Chain A
């Protein structure tokens, strides 16, 4: 039998082993203040979605009748098989029935103190040189000059009057497939007294936000596991990151996934096969998970949870081959500089070709066989890579701090832009003095976001105290600032 003294000694030993580097308090506070002023506290992860549609080609008319007969037979057999499996499987179950009551704010809420998170739209998807989506379903069709709020009215139906429109609802997430198809999801409270939020609702549009459809609310089991204290509700009601942790990804206008983390130790992955109108539970995990993911087909997906600030001894990604029901580890080869490694979220240009960034070193990986094998490649040498954009399978862009610059140099560093036209094999410098003006003194947690829609046209967020959107039409040689207007 152990003693309490033993336990205290073991705990002390653990704390010594896990002791942080010196200067924790000032480091944490300084980064927090800087991050609060940043446009996006995490590196932007491009959600590339140019994947082949899984929808079959139309069937030729002369063979239609025979095929229909075969399909009916297959459907009958499949139904029997699936019914039998459903009796024994907990992997796929329907969502909970819709609640009877209307959404309401938690009683302990105090949301009038909300302030806008940013003063300018934050682009998250550049469809073309003129069509862009920004967080919260803001759409621009003139290259980022004018933005229109296309979000559904029901998205904010429970919020206090006067809440700034530039603030995002609790537990908000969104996904933009192209200029027409977009989805937004958020947490709602439909009456739970034990939790700040108890449901998720997903809104979808296929006409660029002119009209939206709304899913049945998905109920999450929250109350019985961890009853929320008033303090927690105060925290959880603060957007944009509180409420449930949500991530969403669509491969086409019909097939998508939603990952929900209600912060009670279980995460739920849902899938839709009709554009977000109906969702079914694909899997649930005992671990908490708020990590981004991508899918390249209805069955194959990739997920990465590596923190850009820390590293793992083995570079790896998580992958699924059954639509998200089960996930396994895909170990990648060591990068040229070795590990610790922090692998980002892969970008796939089609079902076979993709690329992914390695954050803790100057390297990246590419695949040309759907992720079965990954090839490590070196990036341009730099003290810090600020933003990488994989525009297509050939054209990559890397924005870096001036090579050779070290902290303490009297002159601030320039930001250099590199371009690769051969999928990362070779790189050439495009500009040695871009107007990004990255704040180099505290590099962590403040990152620009870079998008190129073709070899010439691109956008970047300038992450200063007053963030600006910059645009180029000559492949990054020159950049022009935009003063966006929201209506």
Chain B
């Protein structure tokens, strides 16, 4: 008890979660579940599979919470588990290919801007799941390269390189944004 008393708020939660306290685990991981889901969805491009992935990741996080050393790492730690589970589920079928949603397979819109976004959407679907995850974390979740690398288990340099490569494939103007 004395040890817990000197810890900060999230550290208290982590200490309690390590002892098996579900409520503390919920408060610690709960805020990151939605982001975990979005990361899984970006990798898998399927809502059902994304929920399966974040579900399994949460179970694994609960089982291995004793190995999380600091509450400051909780987001990256949890996203790493989500990314790993999503990678494992990515081959939902041995022969699977990325299927574009019906909305992206319709006739092209007459508006140029809409056309451009349609093309961009298709190009996004053609990225590798690893590239898509990096782009999603950088430009949707607004993470920096260090945070992207932490979530995907790679170095910040590798994260920058992956994002740079993905943007080239997406034909996004690199001059606009500092990676």
Contacts and interface: CB of A to CB of B under 8 A. Distances in A.
A421 to B, nearest CB: 34
Which of A228, A288, A316, A328 has the most C-beta atoms of chain B within 10 angstroms of its own C-beta?
A288
A36 B88 contact: no
B96 A263 contact: no
Contacts of B88: 245, 261, 263, 288, 290
A32 B59 contact: yes
Given A229-B150, A231-B77, A36 B95 contact: no
Contacts of B62: 32-33, 36
Nearest to B84: A263
A24 B33 contact: yes
A9 interface: yes
Contact of B124 (A14, A36, A241, A316): A14
Nearest to A19: B47
Contacts of A235: 60, 64, 67, 77, 80-81, 84
A13 B41 CA distance: 12
Contacts of A267: 91
A327 B94 contact: yes
Given A2-B171, A8-B139, A10-B124, A28 B96 contact: no
B4 interface: no
B91 A287 contact: yes
A190 to B, nearest CB: 21
Interface string B23-55: 001100110011001100110011111111011
Nearest to A238: B64
B27 to A, nearest CB: 10
A17 interface: yes
B94 A35 contact: no
A329 B177 CA distance: 43
Interface string B106-150: 000000010011011100100000100001100110000000001
Nearest to A308: B52
A303 interface: yes
B9 interface: no
What is the interface of chain A mostly: helix, strand, loop, or mixed? mixed
Given A4-B177, A231-B80, A29 B33 contact: yes
Contacts of B64: 113, 234-235, 238
Contact of B55 (A13, A17, A18, A32): A32
A32 B51 contact: no
Contacts of A242: 60
A31 B55 CA distance: 7
A19 B51 CA distance: 10
Given A1-B173, A226-B154, A234-B64, A20 B47 contact: yes
Contact of A10 (B26, B52, B121): B121
A89 interface: no
A232 B46 CA distance: 25
Contacts of A310: 46, 48-49, 51-52
A25 B50 contact: no
Interface in A263-295: 263, 265, 267, 285, 287-291
Interface in B149-171: 150, 153-155, 167, 170-171
B22 A33 contact: yes
B46 to A, nearest CB: 7
B172 A24 contact: no
A5 to B, nearest CB: 8
A154 interface: no
A445 B49 CA distance: 14
B30 A25 contact: yes
Contact of B48 (A11, A285, A311, A329): A311
A234 B84 CA distance: 13
A36 B52 contact: no
Contact of A307 (B49, B87, B130, B139): B49
B50 A18 contact: yes
A291 B94 contact: yes
Contacts of B37: 20, 24, 28
A4 B94 contact: no
A487 interface: no
B90 A287 contact: yes
Contacts of B73: 231
A441 interface: no
A305 B50 contact: no
Contacts of B41: 14-15, 18, 20
A2 B173 contact: yes
Contacts of A238: 60, 63-64, 67
Contacts of B92: 305-307
A7 interface: yes
Contacts of B90: 287-288
A181 B48 CA distance: 39
Given A14-B121, A17-B101, A28-B33, A4 B51 contact: no
Nearest to B59: A32
A228 B153 CA distance: 6
A318 interface: yes
A102 interface: no
Which of A24, A32, A226 has the most C-beta atoms of chain B within 10 angstroms of its own C-beta?
A32
Nearest to A230: B69
A-B complex: 5 closest residue pairs judged by Cβ atoms: A310-B48, A287-B91, A113-B66, A18-B41, A289-B91
Interface of A: 1-4, 6-15, 17-20, 24-25, 28-29, 31-33, 35-36, 41, 110, 113, 226-229, 231-232, 234-235, 238, 241-242, 245, 261, 263, 265, 267, 285, 287-291, 303, 305-307, 309-311, 316, 318, 327-329, 445
Given A20-B41, A35-B59, A113-B64, 4 more contacts: A3-B172, A24-B37, A263-B87, A327-B94
